[in-house]
């Protein structure tokens, strides 16, 4: 079918938080056991129907190259719930996005690796939810490993982008 919209979405966050795996999960519903950490820039696409329109989501795994933020309608800032530092760096990622992406870019915060056992968790969900609310970001925890919430997190972001552009 014909594509009505192409939505560019960038996935950013510290190294090894699971950006590549989240993207792979959403684009292909796969979890790659031997993924190398993100080196370059790549994108994957998935075409879906939103409100009877064919939307091609073009999702970029950027490793933070600023020039790739240009034209992004949506952004997903990812941290790892088992590594506090990756959450502490979230404000920096949000600032980068606000500096280099368009003003209307919809930003979602995702705490990945929610499958981790409780004793390994370093970021409480309610703390992240509070931060996201203050910043006006969508928030969810997810697991690229189990697939939990991955679809939901991307769809919520794409729905909001759709609301902004349509
Ligand atoms: P990136 O550098 O942010 O792209 O991170 P990767 O997607 O390469 O993932 C980094 C490491 O975390 C890899 O060893 C993955 O197998 C692992 N990983 C990614 N997502 C999850 C998850 O949801 N749960 C768990 N337990 N491990 C994950």
Q: Torsion over CA of 49, 51, 52 and 58, rounded to 10 degrees?
A: -30
Q: Which atom of ligand 1 is found nearest the CA of 116?
A: 26
In this prediction, residues 88-114 reach a mean pLDDT of: 93
pLDDT at res. 33: 52
Q: Does residue 18 line the site of ligand 1, with CB under 6 A?
A: yes
pLDDT tens sequence across 30-82: 555 544 444 455 678 899 999 999 999 999 887 667 778 889 999 999 999 99
Q: Is residue 25 a contact partner of residue 76, using CB atoms and an 8 Å limit?
A: no
The answer to which of 16-25, 41-50, 137-146 has the lowest mean pLDDT is: 41-50
Q: Does residue 149 line the site of ligand 1, with CB under 6 A?
A: no
If residue 124 lies in a helix (H) or strand (E), which one and from where to where? none
SS3 call for 106: strand
Q: Is residue 156 a contact partner of residue 108, using CB atoms and an 8 Å limit?
A: yes
Torsions phi, psi for 39 (to 5 deg): -105, -60
Q: Is residue 17 a contact partner of residue 62, using CB atoms and an 8 Å limit?
A: no
What single string gives the DSSP state of each residue in 22-81? HHHHHHHS---TTPPPP-S-EEEEEEEEETTEEEEEEEEE-TT-GGGGTT-SEEEEEEET
Instruction: Please state the pTM of the whole predicted model.
Output: 0.93
pLDDT at res. 106: 95
SS3 call for 8: strand
Q: Does residue 145 line the site of ligand 1, with CB under 6 A?
A: yes
Q: What tokens were used for 26?
A: 């959403």
Ligand 1: which of 80, 144, 146 to mutate, judged by most atoms within 8 Å of the beta carbon?
A: 144
Query: What's the half-sphere exposure (Cβ side, CA atoms, 13 Å) at 81?
Result: 25
SS3 call for 14: coil
pLDDT at res. 101: 82
């Amino acid at each position: 079918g014909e594509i009505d919209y192409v939505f560019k979405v960038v996935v950013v966050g510290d190294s090894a938080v699971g950006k590549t795996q989240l993207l792979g999960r959403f684009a292909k519903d796969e979890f790659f056991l031997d993924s190398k950490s993100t080196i370059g820039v790549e994108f994957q696409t998935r075409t879906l129907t939103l409100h009877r329109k064919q939307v091609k989501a073009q999702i970029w795994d950027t490793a933070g190259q600023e020039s790739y933020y240009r034209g992004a309608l949506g952004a997903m800032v990812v941290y790892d719930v088992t590594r506090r530092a990756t959450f502490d760096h979230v404000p920096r990622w949000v600032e980068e996005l606000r500096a280099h992406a368009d003003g209307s870019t919809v930003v979602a915060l995702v705490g990945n690796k929610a499958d981790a056992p409780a004793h390994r968790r370093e970021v409480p969900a309610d703390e992240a939810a509070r931060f996201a609310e203050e910043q006006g970001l969508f928030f969810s925890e997810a697991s690229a490993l189990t697939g939990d919430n991955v679809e939901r997190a991307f769809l919520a972001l794409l729905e909001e982008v759709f609301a902004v552009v349509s």
